Amino acid sequence: SEKIAPADTCVLVTGGAGFIGSHTVVELLQDGYQVVIVDDLSNASARVLDRIATIVGEQAAANLTFYEADVNDRETLTKIFDAHHIDRVIHFAGFKAVGQSVSMPIEYYANNIGSTLTLVDVMRVHGCTSIIFSSSATVYGDPDSLPLTEASPKKPATNPYGWTKWMIEQILTDLNTADPEWNVVLLRYFNPIGAHPSGLMGEDPKGIPNNLVPYVAQTAIGKLDAVHVFGDDYDTPDGTGVRDYIHVCDLATGHASALAWMNGRTGVEVFNLGTGRGTSVLEIIHAFGRACGKEIPYVIEARRAGDVTSNYADCSKAKAQMGWKARYDIDDMCHDSWRWQSTNPDGYEG
Ligand code: WQD
């Protein structure tokens, strides 16, 4: 994998119209990369493309190409690789609803594993062997000890979504074993929240949100009545679950750091992307209340099946090797999330 300058580097971003993908695309365009997005828009809006262009400006936006396509569509993906000299791939595309994965295991395995296999096979045919994969802290399951380092035991949570993340890490590792030219970076995200500080991009979940912060944001704006807190009897300071929430723009710079770091290397490397700090559900609700200037109503409910008590990352490896660390705190995350929610109450389609 030869060393190339950003302006001469073309990065294929699967799922680049989604929440983390779109923020990463902005970061890459601002760094001067050429970017090709492949996204089937099954869980994203084409309107994000105009927002990306507004943020980065006309000149950088000229370096972006968008294809509405399924990564598992080999014929179309082949045409895209024929049309562009793709140097590196960032693979975000995939189904990500934990609960849905339990009731639709076939769809989750077929989509997440199938599209990854199609992608890496088309990459191989085109001599592209450089990939960054969106993995998840879910591979650590219920931790024995905290903070979680990359070497902590892996025991994916008992849902197909988590298993696909862990299986794809293994597939990409096996690729490098078979051909050491492969250059693989596995990024394990903790809990991504927040939105672009411009207010132009953010998370736009379809239907009632599964994740905490989108649910809190929609409660703050009055679309939902009250946050349901899933358990206040955990072994944590206030009894509610603790997570390592990370600003989506910090994740975006994490990908840019990984791209720069992997330049000229081969091998497999894994990095946690988190802040290293744990925050409880009640702390999030109160921080969001400060951000939007009103108290967020909530009710305590039973624990949600499959939830772990606490997790947070040891991010020292990403700092030491890639020179990356998270910059935003919980108040920043809530402010940016509220700016996005309040100025785009119905998301991109509003
Ligand atoms: C956070 C905390 C809940 C909703 C999931 C995936 C993970 C990753 C991110 C996804 C927990 C509590 C939540 C609510 C609540 N990838 N909660 N009321 O479960 O840590 O991680 O999303 O693509 O793989 O598992 O995130 O935001 O759902 O929950 O009290 O309405 O908030 O119990 O303690 P989670 P979350």
- ipTM surpasses 0.90: yes
| pLDDT over 90 (residue 2) | no
Q: Which residues line ligand 1 (CB under 6 A)?
A: 96, 98, 136, 138, 191, 210-212, 215, 228-230, 241, 243, 281, 304, 307
Catalytic residue among 33, 108, 161, 312: 161
Average pLDDT over residues 180-195: 98
Find the mean pLDDT for residues 182-209: 97
**What's the pLDDT band for 156 if we cut at 50, 70, 90?**
confident
The conformational region for residue 147 under phi > 0 = left, psi -120 to 50 = alpha, else beta, is beta
Confidence of residue 77 (pLDDT cuts 50, 70, 90): very high
161 annotated active-site? yes
> What pLDDT, on a 0 to 100 scale, did the predictor assign at position 211?
97
Averaged pLDDT for residues 251-271 = 97
- Stretch 188-203: mean pLDDT, rounded? 98
Predicted pLDDT of residue 199: 98
Position 350 scores a pLDDT of 85
Ligand 1 centroid to Cα of residue 137, in Å, is 12
6 C-alpha to ligand 1 centroid (Å): 35
- The Cα-based distances of 185 to 47, 181, 206, 341 in angstroms read 30, 13, 30, 32
Q: What average pLDDT does range 317-324 have in this prediction? A: 98
Q: What is the pTM of this model?
A: 0.98
Radius of gyration of the chain, Cα coordinates, nearest whole angstrom: 19
* Ligand 1, atom 9: closest residue by C-alpha: 191
Confidence category of residue 85, pLDDT binned at 50, 70, 90: very high
Model confidence band, residue 33 (pLDDT cutoffs 50, 70, 90): very high
Write down the pLDDT at residue 1.
60
Q: Which of 115, 112, 117, 120 lies closest to 136 in space, CA to CA?
A: 112
Report whether pLDDT(131) > 90.
yes
Given this model, what pLDDT does residue 217 score? 98
Averaged pLDDT for residues 181-190: 98
- Find the 36 Cα to ligand 1 centroid distance in Å: 31
The per-residue pLDDT of the chain, averaged, comes to 97
